[in-house]
Amino acid sequence: MQNAGIAELGLDWRYLAFDVAPSDLASAIVGARTMKFVGLNLTVPHKLLAVEWVDVLDESAKVWGAVNTIRFEARDRSGTWQAIWRVPPGEIAEVRSCGFNTDADALTRALREDLGLEPRGASVLLLGAGGAGRVAALKLAAEGVGRLFLVNRTMSKAGAIADEIRTRFAGVQVELGYPGAGVDLVLNATSMGLKPEDPWPFDATQFSLENARAAYDMIYRPAETRFLAAARAAGCRTANGIGMLLYQGARALEIWTEASAPVAVMRRALEENIYV
Ligand code: ATR
Query: What are 199-248's pLDDT values in tens digits?
Result: 999 999 999 999 999 999 999 999 999 999 999 999 999 999 999 999 99
Q: How far apart are CA 58 and CA 56, in angstroms?
A: 7
**Residue from 176, 191, 220 to probe ligand 1 pocket by mutation (most atoms less than 8 Å from CB):** 191
Q: Whose CA is nearest to atom 3 of ligand 1?
A: 132
Burial of 201 (0-12, 13-18, 19+ CB in 10 A): buried
**In angstroms, what is the span from residue 91 Cα to ligand 1's centroid?**
48
- For Cα atoms 170, 174, 179, give the angle at the middle one, nearest 5 degrees: 160
Q: How far apart are CA 213 and CA 234, in angstroms?
A: 9
125 lines ligand 1 (CB under 6 A): no
Residue 44 is predicted with a pLDDT of 87
pTM recorded for the entire structure = 0.95
154 lines ligand 1 (CB under 6 A): yes
CA atoms within 13 A on the CB side of 81: 10
Residue 198 is predicted with a pLDDT of 95
152 lines ligand 1 (CB under 6 A): yes
Q: Is the pLDDT of residue 184 over 90?
A: yes
159 lines ligand 1 (CB under 6 A): no
Q: How far apart are CA 156 and CA 129, in angstroms?
A: 9
Residue 117's pLDDT band (cuts 50, 70, 90): very high
Question: Coil, strand or helix: which one is 242?
Answer: helix
**Mean pLDDT for the chain?**
97
Helical residues (DSSP H) of the chain, grouped into ranges: 2-8, 25-34, 46-53, 59-64, 103-115, 131-142, 155-168, 226-233, 242-257, 263-274
User: Given the CA of residue 190, which atom of ligand 1 is nearest to it?
Assistant: 12
User: Is 47 part of the annotated catalytic residue set?
Assistant: yes
> pLDDT, tens digit, for every residue of 244-276?
999 999 999 999 999 999 999 999 999 999 998
Cβ-contact 53, 29 below 8 angstroms: yes
Residue 8 is predicted with a pLDDT of 98
Quote the percentage of the chain above a pLDDT of 90: 98
**What residues contact 268, with CB distance under 8 A and at least 6 apart?**
4
CB atoms within 10 A of CB 252: 26
Q: How far apart are CA 45 and CA 50, in angstroms?
A: 9
> pLDDT, tens digit, for every residue of 38-57?
999 999 899 999 999 999 99
68 lines ligand 1 (CB under 6 A): no
Residue 158's pLDDT band (cuts 50, 70, 90): very high
190 lines ligand 1 (CB under 6 A): yes
Residue 147's pLDDT band (cuts 50, 70, 90): very high
**In angstroms, what is the span from residue 128 Cα to ligand 1's centroid?**
6
Q: Whose CA is nearest to atom 16 of ligand 1?
A: 153
Q: How far apart are CA 129 and CA 135, in angstroms?
A: 9
Q: How far apart are CA 193 and CA 267, in angstroms?
A: 22
Q: Which of 36, 47, 139, 157 is catalytic?
A: 47
Q: Whose CA is nearest to atom 6 of ligand 1?
A: 130
Residue 276 is predicted with a pLDDT of 81
State whether the Cα torsion 186-192-193-199 is positive or negative: negative
Q: Is the pLDDT of residue 80 over 90?
A: yes
Q: How far apart are CA 138 and CA 165, in angstroms?
A: 6
